[in-house]
Amino acid sequence: GTSQTDVITTENLITDYDYYAENNRLKQITQTDTTSYTNAFGLTEGQTRVWGYSYTYYSVEGVPENTLLETMTIDGPLAGTGDSSVYTWNQQGDLVSFIDAKKHTTTYSDHTGSGQPQTITNSNDVITRLEYHPRGWIEKVTIEAPGDDRSLDAVTIYKWYLNGTLEQVTLSDDSFVHY
C-alpha cells in the first residue's frame, strides 16, 4: 500500500495533509498555529492557513484514468484564487511550464530522454541552458546575456567525482570552489 503523512506536529505548528481517495494525490494542506502570541491581528493560536491542490489529466488510451498528469494548480492560503500557481507537464511527463501567483511564466523545453530540461526561459525572457553528464548530473549552466554576444554569458561548470559527489564548481570569471 501507499504510505502517506497525514499530520506533522512541531512545537508551534500542526500541519495536516488530506489526499484524494481515487489517486492518493495531495488535496489540501492545513497549517494550524499553536502559539499563543498576540499581534496586531489578534491571538495567533488556532489561526489556520490552507493550500488547495487540483489537477487535470491527459486522456490517453491504455493509460488508467486520472494518472497522466497535465496540470497541478496550487491555491495558496489567501482568500480567492489570486495566489494560485500552476505547473504543466507534457504527455511524456516533462515539466513544461510554471506560472506563479503573479502570473509570471517560466518555460522548460528541449528535454533530454530522462526528462531534464535543457532550456529554461523565465518571465523576463532570460534563457538558461543546461548540459548534463550521462548520469544526469548537471555539468554546465549558461545564463545567456541579452543580445547576440555569447562571450557575455554567465557560465558555471560543475565537475563530479566518479561516485557522483561534487568535486568543483567553476564560475565565469574562472574562480572556483573545490570540494
Cβ contacts of residue 155 below 8 Å, gap of 6+? 140, 141, 142, 143, 171, 172
Alpha-carbon gap, residue 158 to 166, rounded angstroms: 7
pLDDT-derived band of residue 4, with 50, 70 and 90 as boundaries?
Answer: confident
What are the Cα distances from residue 127, in Å, to 86, 106, 132, 164? 20, 10, 17, 27
Q: Give the cell for residue 71.
A: 496540470
Q: Give the cell for residue 119.
A: 532550456
Residue where the block lists cell 499530520: 7
| Nearest residue to 143 via CA among 176, 116, 171 | 171
pLDDT at position 1 over 60: no
pLDDT-derived band of residue 102, with 50, 70 and 90 as boundaries?
Answer: very high
pLDDT at position 69 over 90: yes
pLDDT at 41: 75
Stretch 126-139: mean pLDDT: 96
AA letter at 152: L
pLDDT-derived band of residue 100, with 50, 70 and 90 as boundaries?
Answer: very high
Residue where the block lists cell 488547495: 52
- pLDDT, tens digit, for every residue of 39-56? 787 777 788 999 999 999
pLDDT at 23: 87
Length of the chain: 179
Residue where the block lists cell 495533509: 17
Stretch 121-150: mean pLDDT: 95
Residue where the block lists cell 548530473: 137
Residue where the block lists cell 495558496: 76
Stretch 155-177: mean pLDDT: 96
pLDDT-derived band of residue 66, with 50, 70 and 90 as boundaries?
Answer: confident
Query: What percentage of residues in the chain have a pLDDT greater than 90?
Result: 78
Stretch 74-103: mean pLDDT: 94
